[in-house]
Amino acid sequence: MRWRNPRYGRARCRAAGGMMRRLPRFWRAEDGAALVEFAMLVPVALVFVAFTFEASRTFWGYQTTITGVRDATRYLSRVVPGDVCDSGGAVSGWNTKLTEIVRDTRSGDTLFPASIRIVGVSATLECVAGDYRKATVPVAAVTATLAIDYPFKGIFRLVGVTLDDVTTVVRDQARVLGT
């Protein structure tokens, strides 16, 4: 004779017994297995996609800044007079134009998305003494500070990684050729 629970009666015992008989069939069933596997894969796939996106944005922003700084340095080396060291001149007056060169394309459009910022651009002049055609050779340098914010950094928390924003400096120098 079956055991009966006096509190719930015969119907409750049958329901529990029926569920126990169906449990092995439930464990053997493969219905929805693809959905479960997909649900397990989605967080990992999101992290890989976010990593690829953020790494490519960082690389692109950094390389674009290098190109802009190089162009600004070339520009500065040609607009500053060749005798700037002899006349005691400075190049800091060109910072606004150099910032514009680093930030913009030839058409005037910005190259950077909102999360990549040029914090500052500065120009310096060094007068190098040596055994050259001239006693001192002017060398202009342009330095840009780049700040990269990661908009998808919240996705990396799925795997326990905290992603901080990056601030880096790009510098280039060239001999002043003069106008």
Q: How confident is the model at residue 107, as a pLDDT? A: 47
Q: Confirm whether 10 is domain-assigned.
A: no
Q: Confirm whether 2 is domain-assigned.
A: no
Q: Confirm whether 53 is domain-assigned.
A: yes
Number of independent structural domains in the chain:
1
Q: Confirm whether 109 is domain-assigned.
A: yes
Average of pLDDT values for 20-49? Answer: 83
Of 177, 48, 170, 50, the C-alpha closest to 112 is: 170
Q: Confirm whether 26 is domain-assigned.
A: yes
Which tens digit of pLDDT belongs to each residue from 92-147?
Answer: 899 999 999 988 864 456 666 667 888 999 999 999 888 878 788 999 999 999 99
Q: Confirm whether 51 is domain-assigned.
A: yes
Is the four-CA dihedral 36, 40, 41, 43 of positive or negative sign? positive
Q: Confirm whether 11 is domain-assigned.
A: no
Which tens digit of pLDDT belongs to each residue from 56-78?
Answer: 888 888 888 898 999 999 999 99
Helix (H) or strand (E) holding 145: strand 136-148
Single pTM value for the model: 0.72
Do the beta carbons of residue 140 and residue 76 sit within 8 Å?
Answer: yes
Give the domain extent around 143. Answer: 16-175
Within 13 Å of residue 173, how many CA atoms lie on the same side as its CB? 11
Q: Confirm whether 5 is domain-assigned.
A: no
